[in-house]
Amino acid sequence: MPFILSEYHSPGLSVNWTANKVLFHKQSDFQEVAIVELEEMGRALVLDGYVQVTVEDEFVYNEMITHVPLFTHPKPEKVLIIGGGDGGSAREAAKHPSVTQVDLCEIDPMVIEACREHLPEMSVSYNHPKVNVITKDGVKFIKDHPNTYDVIIIDSSDPIGPAVDLFGKDFYSNVHKALKEDGIFACQSESLFYHQDLIKDVHEMLKGLFPIARLYTATTPTYPGFLWAYSMGSKKYDPFDRMDVKKPEIEARYYNHDIYKGCFALPTFIKETLGLK
Ligand code: SAM
């Protein structure tokens, strides 16, 4: 029997999804975990009532959060993903020929269990020989791995529940320490229209830690406001110096070299928000 899944974002904004079926629904130690079949976007992971990822447009988000930082680094080998329990970003990272190890640190084993069963398009990565699934709090894990990774990706839920600390200054400083001397960091930083304060805060924190801080965007229909922001901090490599560098071909549906070149172009209102204009 179809029902309405209503996502509350603010007093002025709710998103109503028509859902056809609930495939999984349990309370974990961290959050309410569900897999729901949406009329418009197919199967979706829903945490605490918020749609995280859908089978119809996950490729946009997962390709952009991984390929942009990984292609900014000339030879990424060790990659850490914090969050990302659906497996989609690990699937993309494992495609890079130079990458030898992808550590996926997801806090909630129930997310892994639900996605293994119902989202095989993404969770296929759990069985990839390069991918090492770790069920721990990323905030704690990062502290024990100084100077270890070439690229660290924070594929987190919104800054509520267990993900709150993944947007904090101490955490970012530990991420900086866990990167090698030429390492790169990338995270999702929410909606260009609705979360400008957060985007600015993240950008300022990155500017305080890394010599190079960049923002890039992609359009993802599942997320409110559609135009989604990704923040990047880099110890050495600047994407603007890497635009014309030839990169290995990768099988992707959204990402390509023209997208790499274009995704750092920012609308004027966001340049103003970041003080770039
Ligand atoms: N693509 C989604 C989006 O932008 O909304 C996010 C993907 S979702 C799979 C994010 C994952 O981060 C969740 O499974 C959640 O359990 C995990 N997570 C939240 N806080 C975490 C933490 N402190 N350490 C590790 N994983 C965490």
CA-nearest residue for atom 17, ligand 1, is 83
Which tens digit of pLDDT belongs to each residue from 166-209? 888 899 999 999 999 999 999 999 899 999 999 999 999 999 99
Looking from the CA of residue 51, the nearest atom of ligand 1 is 5
Q: What is the 3-state secondary structure (H, E, C) of 58-96?
A: HHHHHHHHHHHHHHHCCCCCEEEEEECCCCHHHHHHCCC
155 is catalytic: yes
CA-nearest residue for atom 16, ligand 1, is 108
Whether 3-52 and 57-274 share one fold: the answer is no
Question: Please, which residues have CB within 8 angstroms of residue 204's CB and are 6 or more apart in sequence?
Answer: none
Q: What is the chain's length? A: 277
**Cα 74 to averaged position of ligand 1 atoms, centre (Å):** 27
244: three-class secondary structure by DSSP: coil
Q: Residue 157 has what DSSP assignment?
A: -
138 labelled binding-site residue:
yes
Q: Span 76-92, mean pLDDT?
A: 98
Ligand 1 site: residues with CB under 6 angstroms? 47, 52-53, 61, 82-86, 105-108, 111, 137-139, 155-157, 162-163, 165-166, 188
**Cα 33 to averaged position of ligand 1 atoms, centre (Å):** 11
Residue that has been written with the tokens 């070439």 in this structure: 150
- CATH level 2 (architecture), domain 3-52: Roll (2.30)
CA-nearest residue for atom 20, ligand 1, is 163
Which tens digit of pLDDT belongs to each residue from 206-232? 999 999 999 999 999 999 889 999 999
Looking from the CA of residue 138, the nearest atom of ligand 1 is 24
Which tens digit of pLDDT belongs to each residue from 97-149? 999 999 999 999 999 999 999 999 999 999 999 999 999 999 999 999 999 99
H-type alpha helices, the chain: 58-72, 88-93, 109-118, 120-123, 138-141, 169-178, 196-209, 257-262, 268-273
Written out in words, the top-level CATH class of the domain with range 57-274 is alpha beta
Q: How many CB atoms within 10 Å of residue 270?
A: 20
Question: Please, which residues have CB within 8 angstroms of residue 272's CB and are 6 or more apart in sequence?
Answer: none
Domain locations in the chain as residue ranges: 3-52, 57-274
As a whole number of angstroms, the distance between CA 163 and CA 7 comes to 18
